[in-house]
Structure 1
């Protein structure tokens, strides 16, 4: 019986320790992405998102669609940074994520994304310059104008072919 109690206590402690584990910091995610991108000769695609964000889920669904996933995966090391959570979901946030989001000009909502080279040099982001000259976050591209911006970023930061870009355009245009 004592052995069983010790086993049960050990199991409970292990469970509590697992619950207490924190999410990796934004800096750790970026460092790991740089290492992977350098090894795989890819650029880095960072997406800021939250569990409650419907547009974030739509973007993930589109990028992970069977028609697109391999296209993105061959070009980018894709990483997510969780920000702006509420209540008991706050534990999902990556420490330093909101500061990194703000440092990259992401104050207009999520999803906010940017692309860097393997050394972390910014190549492009989700902000599109409007007719008034101000930049605004397109988030998950869904309008023709937003999708065009997204495709321009992909053209600039990848070697995707015209037909591959058309596949991505078709998927993001689907309602």
Structure 2
């Protein structure tokens, strides 16, 4: 009898562990983000990222830096979706995230790719740099990824200014934090 109880307990714990490690579907994450954004009168900052992407980790670290985290939390509901994983790590992807990325960015830009949405899911702006409202090169990857270079950080600050209540001083703090990423981007030449 003890053996059956041990096996049953092991199976239950294994199932719970598996269930907790399975990523939530993109649809579930977004429904929760939109509901919270509507309730708190905020925008949704949706960030597509992957485990292999070092710039995705830099983006998350910059947002979560003590100098910035409260500023983002006070103005945005932040949602992360895992996409474009390598073959051996496809299980990390949020089901439906690839399709959602294609809806917002049909060119499959580099990562991280982010978009700011209203509480109803309408896109307001995204991480593709535009000049005079148009993509610099419609056939190229215009995604800034994690803002680091002065042009990218300034564009990012404009995005935040137009979608939040951040003050000039708060935006300056965010810009200063993201500019710390420049040395890495300049050294690697990539995003």
- Residue 70 of structure 1 and its aligned partner are, at CA, apart by 0.2
Q: 1:159 to 1:132 in 2, by over 3 A?
A: closer
Residue in 2 aligned with 1:26? 26
Question: Structure 1 residues 142 and 41, CA, compared in 2 at 3 Å: closer, same or farther?
Answer: same
Residue 136 of structure 2 is matched in structure 1 by 133
> Could you tell me how far 1:146 is from its partner in structure 2?
0.7
| 2:129 aligned counterpart, secondary structure | strand
Following TM superposition, by how much is the alpha carbon of 1:20 offset from its aligned partner in structure 2, in angstroms? 3.9
Moved more, 98-107 or 131-140: 131-140
Residue number in structure 2 paired with 1:154: 160
Deviating above 4 A after TM superposition, structure 1's stretches of 4 or more consecutive aligned residues are none
1:10 aligns with 8
- Residue 150 of structure 2 corresponds to which residue in structure 1? 144
Return 12-21 or 82-91, whichever deviates more: 12-21
Q: 1:172 is matched with which residue?
A: 178
2:40 is aligned to 40
- TM (norm. structure 2) is 0.85
Counterparts of residues 85-96 of structure 1 (less than 5 Å): 85-96=85-96
Q: Alpha carbon RMSD of aligned pairs, Å?
A: 1.7
Say if 2:129 and 2:135, in contact at 8 Å, map to a contact too.
Answer: no
Name the count of aligned residue pairs.
173
Are residue 54 (structure 1) and residue 54 (structure 2) matched? yes
Question: 1:64/1:128 Cα in 2 relative to 1: closer, same or farther (>3 Å)?
Answer: same
1:15 positional shift: 3.3
Name the TM-score, length of structure 1 as normaliser.
Answer: 0.92
Match of 1:163 in 2: 169
Offset, 1:108: 1.5
Q: Greater CA deviation, 103-112 or 82-91?
A: 82-91
Conservation of the 8 A alpha-carbon contact between 2:147 and 2:153: yes
Q: Report the 3-state secondary structure (helix = DSSP H, G, I; strand = E; otherwise coil) of the residue aligned with 1:137.
A: coil
Residues 85/66 of structure 1: CA separation in 2 closer, same or farther (3 Å cut): same
